[in-house]
């Protein structure tokens, strides 16, 4: 590993822990794991937690969520008998039954045993139209990098001499049965600095990958590029997407005369469906015809746009409390999912000669303590939709319908914990700059003040909405704990401006928001600081690291999962370079000036009254490097913080989720809850 620390900064003594599978590094990991496992798994409560969570994960009566591909509904299923999982399909008529007759396409457990590999399912792209071939992606141990293989859905076997790619962070998309777009690691210059494809190539069946035609070449410091084919009958087209950074992109149409770039703001999020071009704005956009605010959704016919018109229809405009979460097409309609103070409402928009008509989705009202999520639609053929309704104490219900027709309940999930005595409340804390920060509280009011677990994320425009979790219920709520979800700036709960208020040199606002929620919980008598634990992963793991080093007096315990912690080198580790639009470039002195003020690894100090902390990560996480957590713990050890304060567990498998199957997932969460219960009860 190369130490790129500036000359005026101390050398990094733990650089050797960045060698992911190096013998010395893994020996250190095993030593730390042994200490944590020996301590936290030695009692009956841990076994009860692990077994109870495993029951949730493996339950036969869970809802088997499906995606329609042609006449079939496809599902991937894991349980105790099939820990790696089954890819399977059925018909809607069968799916309506309590126990559908599933046709198994691929048994990942059997494949792993036959090939001697730890395969983890990562999805499949099914050829449209026809739906008789798929490109299946499998990873070793749950990493983002996958092996791609062509699969025949009729014979239910891999295609001999079909399309196949070795392990890499590849991008693939069908053009037709004999051609695909591919971006993968083919040697020097084929990947960006973020480790994703820099080339889009067209690969024809029966030819070696080395003979694939290069269609587009991105720049080395782009995040990624990929090619896409839209096979919608009457609207067939090919697109090249260049992701300049995490929030800026260019989209070009591939035509017989060459590439034609869509003249859109780089930070806009466009999509194409049949004749329509939809544009979501991330910043204000003056088209020359009108000024559109950030967070708007606009529509125009694609050909009109290409001909020079900028007279776009306004489908949605945000206000101070309401934002667009996402949308989905059916054959003739557009379903909008909006958030008002983090509460859902679904609306149906229908284009017509007089413009777009907007109305609520019949049979599905607005929710206060639950979320409604669109799980699937059938934009090729019908106005079918599937909706999942769930809340913190409300198990999921899967609804089925067609726009304009009555909604049918297809499936109901079981309750994994008793929610009868639990209340769901929404409160608002006041952050340092006066901004109101919403948060949800779930628990039994009669047990206050009591042990409380607070979580948050605050980044990448990710919204945290109410949802049911049997794992949280079994692991925390059932034992009398209170659970809190904070909707911090940096997320998307109030649209793109809620996010942009907290990027780069404004990042401190995320941490001030979280600290304000923590203080508000104590002020309201929901908990005390000694009984307040916090948990977060990935960007939320960075949040936990900042709370540890910057706000230790507020908390009784911290769980920091798959975290970013070394903000001096994050951009040089795995996919880190792709996040510089969120955090900044540490090699730019002006950016490092604010990054260094909160970077957890650089802000550790000896002799501090830090709360007990558990770090959890995965060797196979090829998105956020495990060295962030490794080096943090090593530095804390050097500063005199022993295993009675700092605990560490690294799953040798598991990817960014830190677990490759349900057994590993149950073990991980049992560790987390056992640690929290010991510190906060």
Per-residue pLDDT tens digits for 437-462: 999 999 999 999 999 999 999 999 99
CA distances from 490 to 148, 193, 339, 493, 552 (A): 34, 25, 16, 9, 22
Q: What is the pLDDT of residues 223-244, one digit of tens each?
A: 999 999 999 999 999 999 999 9
3-state helix, strand, coil in the chain (%, to 5): 25, 35, 40
Q: For the chain, what's the residue count?
A: 681
Mean pLDDT, the chain, integer: 95
For residue 536 the two structure tokens come to 């977060």
pLDDT at 2: 47
Average pLDDT over residues 194-217: 97
Nearest to 559 by CA among 547, 543, 544, 549: 544
Task: Answer for the pair 566, 546: CB distance below 8 angstroms, yes or no.
Answer: no
Q: What is the C-alpha to C-alpha distance for residues 532 and 289, in angstroms, rounded to an integer? A: 52
Say whether pLDDT at 359 is over 80.
Answer: yes
- The model carries a pTM of 0.93
Distance CA 391, CA 340 (A): 16
* Tokens, residue 186: 């083919």
- HEC string of 503-567? CHHHCHHHHHHHHHHHHHHHHCCCCCHHHEEEEEECHHHHHHHHHHHHCHHHCCEEEEECCCCCC
Report, in angstroms and rounded to the nearest whole number, the Rg of the chain calculated over CA atoms: 25
pLDDT tens for residues 595-614?
999 999 999 999 999 999 99
How would you classify residue 151: left for phi > 0, otherwise alpha for psi between -120 and 50, otherwise beta? beta
User: Do 487 and 463 touch, CB atoms closer than 8 A?
Assistant: yes
The top-level CATH class assigned to 22-54+416-680 is alpha beta
* Order of strands, sheet of 67-69, starting from the edge strand that comes earlier in the sequence: 67-69, 72-77, 86-90, 103-107
CB-count exposure of residue 87 (10 Å: 0-12, 13-18, 19+): buried
Q: Where are the beta strands (DSSP E) in 163-293?
A: 164-168, 171-176, 179-183, 199-204, 213-217, 224-230, 237-243, 249-255, 258-261, 269-273, 276-280, 285-286, 291-292
Query: Annotated active-site positions, please?
Result: 538, 656
Report the percent of the chain where pLDDT is more than 70: 97
- Domain extents in the chain: 22-54+416-680, 62-168, 322-414
Q: CA 370 to CA 493: how far, in whole Å?
A: 15
CA gap 537, 177 in Å, rounded: 40
The CA distance from 276 to 270, in Å, is 10
Residues 389, 396: contact at Cβ < 8 Å? yes
* Chain segment 670-681, per-residue pLDDT in tens: 999 999 999 999
Helices 508-523, 539-550: axis angle to 10 degrees equals: 70
**pLDDT tens column, 399-410:** 999 999 999 999
Inform me whether the pLDDT recorded for 380 exceeds 60.
yes
Q: Peptide bond before 249: cis, by omega within 30 degrees of 0? A: no
């Amino acid at each position: 590993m190369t130490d790129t620390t500036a000359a005026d900064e101390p050398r990094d003594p733990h650089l050797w822990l960045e060698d992911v599978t190096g013998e010395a590094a893994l020996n250190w990991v095993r030593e730390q794991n042994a200490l944590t496992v020996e301590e936290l798994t030695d009692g009956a409560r841990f076994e009860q937690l692990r077994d109870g969570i495993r029951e949730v994960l493996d339950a036969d009566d869970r809802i088997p969520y499906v995606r329609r591909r042609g006449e079939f509904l496809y599902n991937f299923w894991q349980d105790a008998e099939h820990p790696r999982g089954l890819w399977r399909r059925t018909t809607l008529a069968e799916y309506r039954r309590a126990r559908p007759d599933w046709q198994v396409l691929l048994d990942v457990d059997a494949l792993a045993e036959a090939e001697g590999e730890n395969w983890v399912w990562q999805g499949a792209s099914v050829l449209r139209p026809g739906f008789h071939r798929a490109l299946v992606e499998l990873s070793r141990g749950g990493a983002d990098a996958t092996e791609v293989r062509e699969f025949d859905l009729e014979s239910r076997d891999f295609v001999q001499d079909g399309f196949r790619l070795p392990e890499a962070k590849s991008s693939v998309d069908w053009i037709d049965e004999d051609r695909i777009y591919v971006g993968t690691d083919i040697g020097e210059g084929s990947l960006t600095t973020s480790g994703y494809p820099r080339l889009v190539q067209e690969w024809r069946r029966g030819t070696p990958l080395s003979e694939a035609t290069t269609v587009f070449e991105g720049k080395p410091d782009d995040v990624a590029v990929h090619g896409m084919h839209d096979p919608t009958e009457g609207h067939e087209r090919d697109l090249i997407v260049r992701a300049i950074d995490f929030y800026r992109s260019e989209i070009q149409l591939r035509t017989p005369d060459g590439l034609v770039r869509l003249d859109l703001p780089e930070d806009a999020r466009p999509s194409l469906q049949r004749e329509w071009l939809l544009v979501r704005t991330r910043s204000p956009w003056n088209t020359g015809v009108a000024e559109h605010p950030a967070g708007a959704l606009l529509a125009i016919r694609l050909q009109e746009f290409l001909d020079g018109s900028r007279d776009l229809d306004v489908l949605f405009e945000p206000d101070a409390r309401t934002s667009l979460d996402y949308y989905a097409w059916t054959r003739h309609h557009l379903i909008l999912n909006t958030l008002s103070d983090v509460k859902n409402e679904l609306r149906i928009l229908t284009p017509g000669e007089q413009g777009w008509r907007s109305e609520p989705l019949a049979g599905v009202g607005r929710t206060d303590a639950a979320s409604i999520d669109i799980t699937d639609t059938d934009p090729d053929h019908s106005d079918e939709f599937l909706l999942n309704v769930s809340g913190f104490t409300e198990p999921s219900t899967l609804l089925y319908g067609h726009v304009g027709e009555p909604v049918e309940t297809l499936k109901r999930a079981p309750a994994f914990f008793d929610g009868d005595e639990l209340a769901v409340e929404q409160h608002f804390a006041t952050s340092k700059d006066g901004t109101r920060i919403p948060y949800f509280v779930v628990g039994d009011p009669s047990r206050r003040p009591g042990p409380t677990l607070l979580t948050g994320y605050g980044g990448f425009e990710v919204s945290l909405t109410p949802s049911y979790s049997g794992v949280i219920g079994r692991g925390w709520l059932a034992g009398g704990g209170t659970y809190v979800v904070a909707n911090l700036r940096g997320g998307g709960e109030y649209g793109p401006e809620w996010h942009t208020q907290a990027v780069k040199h404004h990042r401190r606002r995320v941490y001030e928001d979280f600290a304000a929620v923590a203080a508000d919980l104590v002020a309201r008598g929901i908990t005390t600081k000694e009984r307040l634990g916090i948990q977060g992963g990935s960007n939320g793991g960075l949040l936990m690291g900042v709370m540890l080093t910057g706000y230790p007096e507020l908390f009784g315990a911290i769980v920091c999962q798959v975290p970013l912690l070394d903000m001096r080198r994050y951009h040089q580790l795995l996919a880190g370079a792709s996040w510089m639009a969120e955090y900044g470039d540490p090699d730019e002195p002006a950016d490092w000036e604010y990054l260094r003020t909160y970077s957890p690894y650089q802000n550790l100090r000896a002799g501090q009254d830090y709360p007990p902390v558990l770090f959890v990560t995965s060797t196979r996480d090829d998105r956020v490097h495990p060295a962030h957590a490794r080096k943090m713990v090593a530095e804390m050890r050097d500063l005199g913080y022993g295993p009675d304060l700092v605990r560490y567990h690294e799953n040798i498998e598991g990817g960014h989720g830190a677990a490759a199957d349900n057994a590993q997932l149950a073990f991980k969460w049992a560790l987390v809850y056992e640690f929290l219960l010991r510190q906060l009860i």
